[in-house]
Amino acid sequence: MTSPKPKSVQTMKATTAAKKLGVPFSATPAEFQASVVTRDELNQLQSNPPAWLADLRRNGPHTKQVVAAKLKVSVAGLTRNGITEPLTTAEIDALKAEKPEWLEREQANQVEVRKEALRLKQRDN
């Protein structure tokens, strides 16, 4: 009888871990950037974030996906309007307060896209 193989430890590059954590890799600490992250370490970071991660999630800079969600627009809408770099929470709040014409247009567009997706889902069910 053979003994069971020891379970291998799953690892990932720090860039992948940052993506899974929802933070820009470039904003993470140097020691994180130089590391290899195990699945268990990633789970620990998600369930009990260290101060640097909590601060990034609270204040940014945020990834395009997070910026788009906070502004209620699509990532493509951000790109169409020249927002290609991560933004901080303060920059996002300033855009919300300023309400530029492009933001209102993209938000209205996103509402229509969601309505159409819901309509199609209801039609197909």
What's the pLDDT band for 125 if we cut at 50, 70, 90? Answer: confident
Question: Mean pLDDT of all residues in the chain?
Answer: 91
Spatial distance between the Cα atoms of 20 and 77, rounded to a whole number of angstroms: 23
Our count of domains for the chain comes to: 2
State which H helix or E strand residue 46 sits in. Answer: helix 39-47
- pLDDT at position 6 is 63
85 and 35 fall within a common domain: no
pLDDT in tens, 48-100: 999 999 999 999 999 999 999 999 999 999 999 999 999 999 999 999 999 99
List the structure tokens of 42: 């990633």
List the structure tokens of 51: 């101060």
Instruction: Go through the chain and tell me how many residues it has.
Output: 125
> Helices 89-98 and 101-124 sit at what angle, rounded to 10 degrees?
90
Q: Residue 4 pLDDT more than 70?
A: no
Q: What is the domain extent for residue 48?
A: 10-59
75 and 118 fall within a common domain: yes
44 and 70 fall within a common domain: no
- pLDDT at position 102 is 95
Strand-pairing partners, residue 13, are 36
Is there a domain that residue 91 lies in?
Answer: yes
Q: Residue 5 pLDDT more than 70?
A: no
66 and 49 fall within a common domain: no
pTM of the model as a whole? 0.77
